[in-house]
């Protein structure tokens, strides 16, 4: 399969359809060579002569996201609120850093765009991803898409090496005991080329596993992951034991291992240790079966599908469950009336509704659903953001996460004012009263010009007669490509090409339709690349260049012609008549990134590496030159005890002083109760911290002395601050300082479950967002 489909990465499991058979197959090293596939009787669904082996999905390292149902159940299992708030803050931080540091921007873009789009060595071309117009559109789209998911769906990503989305398979060797699983995962993100050959096996590690949809308290279960030599050939799957009173997967939302995927988490903050697994829902309860005639006609099939589509109410029931769980609790088992389900019973009804497409049975009629709505008295928790119903502030974790996410919206929406083609991405809530300044928006539109990278144009002589021929072809190619992109956008209701490249489902495009749009994009790219390369090889005077000849192997004439065409494509899209259109299409030249960037390989790093230090310098200049006030007396810092008794002094680097001055102005003035402790701990943790003399009082009890004082014209300390050099090294140091102070907040928040520490980390992250968007903070 791997060779036939030309798949570069190894896999161990495949979901397939073949000859009326449906199921999952995994590698067995002990299988006799003359046998290619073992099929169980239970996998045979119907008789067929269709002998094409259809690959539905392959096992692979897939990222994992928590959703509202999983968070509810984990919270019920006594995972602390601070754990979820820290994870969400880290998600926001990742997005913000993509607009501050080029390496983070590159990582986010490569995660979003398809693997067949950009060359693997694009990092070596040192593109300024943050400011390059096309890639900046992708960045902003990705940031707003993720922000919307965090706000509206509480979709929180877990670190790729702390959890995965995995196929579930059974232990064919019968070596796992009940409540044991085997997990070997591919390690991601440790090198720039993302080498997928390195794996790690979890051994004696507690994990938590669930499957969507998960509503019942028993749907989320803990297991012990162990290592066993018999299973070491399996990776990126979770292997369940076949021992025990009942199959472990069946306890998790009633799954059956015929292609089900599981959320598998071993993140230490998210694995329940204080509670045991709840009793699972009885998924074997009898469901009335539809009576079909012995001879099933096409009309009967059509009518059944229409009836299922008309009666599908899974989304409404899931929303009802969220509201019931918030008001009554996830484990509520008490009926308010004879025909009113409890939260637990509603979770069971949802599991039956999930299977209604196969069974034809819907557990709740419209009348019963209406009566369930009446229990809620037309009120919904604020995180559901239902404009037609009365809202109340939910005191539980989903409400806390929702209100925390809302605080980032003003910044992201302000960013869109500078990008008129992306304003459809704006995220609004019911009580969002901020209105755009029409005059400001118009001014931003007038000033928004597509910036050209002159170094990409200067590699060819655009006055040469040969270039004019290439430019004519490029214009034709751009016209056709542009028209076909707009056809895809219009067909699938998308607003901008970045929605397509980032798979942004803002317009409700999901599932098979989204996959189809993506497939059409890939086909368009293949056609466009074929046109491009065919044009070049037709004229190969040496007759040795072909459409699959690498750029480095082309003859000199073809290389120059290819470079001329791709430069002409860049010129047409970025500076030609199409650039001034309402929605310019900028992706075309990047389909040929290898020839476009060939001359840029291993050149100087982009200047956006200093964006953070640039904002910090502006803030420091304003503190000294405009406000004339500082909080420290110099680079020798003075400390006191909590009783205000002076205890000692310490030397620190001048960059530490600059960092403290700025954060004290922006955050310390807001009277956070734990701020003094946080900033004092930060100072003591810096590598430049050196005590001036031995002291009897432990430094852990020291508190930094901060006092506002006016700068005079002879202030040596202020002069040193204002004359600091802000190089790439200082930029790296400032990033480290921000990470250090956030780590202190996160660690203390985990230890104490005191949200006060996370209020400070939230303020720090919002400060970074302001720097990323405005490039200044004061």
Q: What is the pLDDT of residues 196-219, one digit of tens each?
A: 679 999 999 999 999 999 999 999
pLDDT digits (tens, 9 = 90+) for 284-339: 665 666 666 667 788 888 887 887 777 778 899 999 999 999 999 999 999 888 88
Residue of 79, 72, 82, 85 whose CA lies nearest to 274: 79
Residue of 385, 420, 389, 415 whose CA lies nearest to 403: 385
pLDDT for 406 beyond 60: yes
For residues 204-237, b (16+ Cβ closer than 10 Å) or e, as one string? ebebbbbbbbbbbbbbbbbbebbeeebbeebbbb
What token pair was written down for 547?
Answer: 């459409």
**Bridge partner list, 185:** 200
Highest mean predicted confidence (pLDDT) among 498-502, 508-512, 695-699, 745-749: 745-749
Cβ atoms of 725 and 613 closer than 8 Å: no
Higher pLDDT, 608 or 518: 518
702 CA to centre of own chain? 40
Cβ atoms of 125 and 446 closer than 8 Å: no
Q: What is the mean pLDDT of residues 137-152?
A: 96
Q: What is the pLDDT of residue 472?
A: 93
Residue carrying structure tokens 């989204």 = 514
Q: What is the mean pLDDT of residues 441-449?
A: 56
What token pair was written down for 545?
Answer: 């260049």
Q: Whole-angstrom Cα distance, residue 336 to residue 341?
A: 8
What token pair was written down for 270?
Answer: 């998210």
Provide the residue count of the chain: 778
Cβ atoms of 661 and 632 closer than 8 Å: yes
Cβ atoms of 617 and 718 closer than 8 Å: no
Q: What is the pLDDT of residue 440?
A: 56
pLDDT digits (tens, 9 = 90+) for 543-564: 777 767 777 777 877 888 888 9
* Residue 606 parent element (H or E): none
Q: Whole-angstrom Cα distance, residue 105 to residue 611?
A: 12
pLDDT for 88 beyond 80: yes
Q: Whole-angstrom Cα distance, residue 287 to residue 737?
A: 59
Mean pLDDT estimate for the chain = 89
Q: Whole-angstrom Cα distance, residue 155 to residue 174?
A: 36
Q: What is the pLDDT of residue 120?
A: 86
Which domains does the chain possess?
13-58 (no CATH), 64-265 (2.40.40.20), 301-376 (no CATH), 408-447 (no CATH), 454-600 (no CATH), 609-774 (no CATH)
- The one-character DSSP state at 217 is G
Q: Whole-angstrom Cα distance, residue 679 to residue 685?
A: 10
Q: What is the mean pLDDT of residues 393-413?
A: 97
| Axis crossing angle, helix 654-666 with helix 675-685, rounded to the nearest 10 | 170
389 Cβ neighbours under 8 A, 6+ residues apart: 378, 379, 380
- Please spell the DSSP secondary structure of 227-239, one letter per residue: --GGGTT--SEEE
379-381 and 221-225 as β-strands: parallel, antiparallel, unpaired? unpaired
Q: What is the pLDDT of residue 504?
A: 64
pLDDT for 736 beyond 90: yes
Cβ atoms of 607 and 775 closer than 8 Å: no
pLDDT for 475 beyond 90: yes
Cβ atoms of 88 and 400 closer than 8 Å: no
Q: What is the pLDDT of residue 82?
A: 98
Q: What is the pLDDT of residue 462?
A: 83
Cβ atoms of 347 and 396 closer than 8 Å: no
Q: What is the mean pLDDT of residues 690-712?
A: 83
Q: What is the mean pLDDT of residues 637-663?
A: 91
| Axis crossing angle, helix 654-666 with helix 755-774, rounded to the nearest 10 | 100
pLDDT > 70 in the chain, percent:
91
Q: Whole-angstrom Cα distance, residue 162 to residue 221?
A: 17
205-210 and 261-265 as β-strands: parallel, antiparallel, unpaired? antiparallel
Q: Whole-angstrom Cα distance, residue 237 to residue 74?
A: 22
pLDDT > 90 in the chain, percent:
61
> Is it true that the peptide bond before 213 is cis, omega within 30 degrees of 0?
yes
Q: What is the pLDDT of residue 583?
A: 78
Q: What is the pLDDT of residue 512?
A: 63
**Bridge partner list, 183:** 238
pLDDT for 445 beyond 70: no
pLDDT for 241 beyond 80: yes
Strands of 141-220, DSSP E: 156-158, 163-170, 180-186, 199-201, 205-210
pLDDT digits (tens, 9 = 90+) for 674-687: 999 999 999 999 99
Residue of 15, 40, 18, 14 whose CA lies nearest to 27: 14
Q: What is the pLDDT of residue 643?
A: 81
390-392 and 379-381 as β-strands: parallel, antiparallel, unpaired? parallel
Q: What is the pLDDT of residue 129?
A: 95
Q: Which long-range contacts (CB under 8 A, 24 or more apart) does 457-461 make?
A: 457/567, 457/570, 457/571, 459/563, 459/567, 459/599, 460/560, 460/563, 460/564, 460/567
* Residue 412 parent element (H or E): helix 409-416
163-170 and 646-651 as β-strands: parallel, antiparallel, unpaired? unpaired
148 CA to centre of own chain? 11
Largest separation between any pair of C-alpha atoms in the chain: 99
Q: What is the pLDDT of residue 716?
A: 92
Q: What is the pLDDT of residue 446?
A: 45
Q: Whole-angstrom Cα distance, residue 162 to residue 179?
A: 20
Residue of 439, 10, 437 whose CA lies nearest to 199: 10
Cβ atoms of 342 and 331 closer than 8 Å: no
Q: What is the pLDDT of residue 533?
A: 84
Around 235, how many Cα atoms within 13 Å sit in the side-chain half-sphere?
Answer: 15
């Amino acid at each position: 399969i791997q060779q036939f489909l030309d798949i570069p990465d190894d896999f161990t499991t495949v979901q397939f359809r073949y000859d009326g058979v449906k199921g999952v197959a995994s590698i067995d090293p002990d299988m006799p060579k003359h046998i290619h596939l073992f099929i169980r009787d239970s996998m045979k669904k119907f008789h067929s002569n269709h002998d094409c082996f259809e690959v539905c999905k392959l096992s692979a390292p897939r990222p994992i996201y928590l959703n509202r149902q999983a968070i509810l159940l984990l919270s019920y299992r006594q995972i602390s609120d601070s754990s979820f708030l820290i994870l969400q803050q880290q998600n926001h931080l990742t997005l913000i850093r993509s607009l501050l540091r080029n390496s983070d921007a590159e990582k986010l873009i490569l995660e979003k765009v398809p693997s067949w789009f950009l060359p693997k060595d694009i990092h070596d071309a040192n593109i300024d991803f943050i400011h390059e117009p096309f890639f900046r559109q992708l960045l902003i789209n990705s940031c707003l898409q993720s922000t919307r998911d965090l706000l509206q769906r509480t979709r929180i990503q877990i670190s790729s090496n702390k959890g995965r989305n995995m196929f579930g398979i059974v232990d064919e060797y019968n070596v796992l005991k009940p409540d044991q699983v085997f997990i070997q995962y591919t390690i991601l993100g440790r090198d720039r080329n993302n080498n997928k050959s390195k794996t790690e096996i979890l051994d004696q590690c507690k994990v938590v596993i669930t499957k969507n949809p998960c509503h019942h308290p028993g749907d989320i279960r803990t297991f012990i992951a162990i290592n066993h030599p018999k299973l070491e050939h399996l990776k990126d799957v979770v292997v369940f034991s076949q021992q025990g009173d009942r199959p472990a997967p069946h306890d998790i939302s009633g799954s059956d291992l015929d292609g089900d995927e599981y959320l598998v988490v071993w993140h230490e903050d998210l694995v329940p240790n204080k509670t045991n697994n709840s009793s699972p829902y009885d998924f074997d309860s009898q469901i009335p079966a539809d009576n079909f005639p012995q001879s099933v006609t096409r009309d009967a099939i059509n009518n059944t599908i229409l009836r299922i589509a008309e009666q599908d109410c899974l989304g409404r029931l899931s929303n009802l469950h969220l509201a019931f769980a918030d008001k009554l609790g996830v484990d509520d088992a008490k009926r308010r009336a004879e025909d009113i389900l409890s939260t637990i019973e509603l979770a069971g009804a949802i599991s039956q509704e999930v299977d209604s497409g196969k069974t034809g049975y819907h557990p709740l009629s419209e009348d019963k659903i209406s009566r369930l709505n009446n229990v809620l008295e037309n009120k919904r928790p604020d995180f559901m953001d239902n404009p037609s119903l009365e809202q109340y502030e939910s005191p539980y974790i989903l409400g806390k996460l929702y209100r925390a996410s809302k605080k980032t919206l003003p910044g992201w929406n302000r960013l869109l004012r500078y990008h008129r083609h992306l304003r459809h991405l704006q995220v609004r809530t019911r009580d969002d009263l901020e209105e755009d300044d029409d005059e400001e928006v118009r001014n931003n539109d007038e000033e928004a010009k597509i910036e050209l990278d002159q170094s990409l144009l200067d590699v060819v002589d655009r006055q040469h007669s040969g270039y004019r021929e290439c430019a004519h072809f490029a214009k034709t190619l751009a016209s056709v490509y542009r028209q076909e992109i707009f056809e895809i956008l219009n067909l699938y209701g998308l607003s901008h090409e970045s929605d397509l490249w980032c798979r942004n489902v803002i317009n409700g495009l999901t599932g098979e339709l989204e996959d189809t749009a993506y497939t059409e994009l890939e086909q368009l790219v293949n056609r466009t690349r074929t046109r491009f390369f065919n044009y070049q090889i037709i004229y190969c005077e040496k007759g040795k260049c072909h459409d699959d000849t690498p750029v480095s192997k082309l003859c000199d004439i073809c290389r120059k012609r290819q470079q001329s065409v791709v430069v002409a494509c860049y010129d047409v899209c970025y500076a030609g008549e199409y650039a001034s259109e309402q929605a310019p299409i900028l992706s075309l030249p990047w389909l040929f990134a290898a020839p476009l960037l060939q001359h840029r390989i291993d050149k100087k790093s982009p200047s956006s590496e200093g964006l953070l230090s640039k904002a910090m310098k502006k803030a420091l200049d304003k503190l000294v030159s405009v406000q004339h006030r500082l909080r420290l007396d110099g680079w020798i810092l003075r400390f006191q005890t909590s009783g205000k008794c002076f205890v000692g002094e310490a030397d620190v680097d001048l960059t530490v002083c600059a960092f403290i001055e700025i954060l004290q102005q922006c955050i310390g003035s807001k009277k956070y109760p734990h701020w003094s402790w946080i900033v004092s701990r930060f100072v003591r943790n810096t590598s430049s911290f050196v005590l001036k003399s031995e002291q009897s009082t432990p430094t852990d009890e020291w508190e930094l002395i901060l006092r506002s004082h006016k700068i005079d014209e002879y202030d040596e300390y202020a002069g040193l601050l204002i004359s600091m050099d802000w190089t790439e090294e200082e930029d790296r140091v400032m990033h480290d300082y921000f990470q250090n102070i956030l780590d202190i907040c996160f660690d203390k928040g985990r230890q104490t479950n005191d949200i006060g520490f996370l209020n400070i980390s939230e303020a720090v992250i919002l400060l970074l967002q302001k720097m990323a968007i405005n490039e200044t903070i004061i």
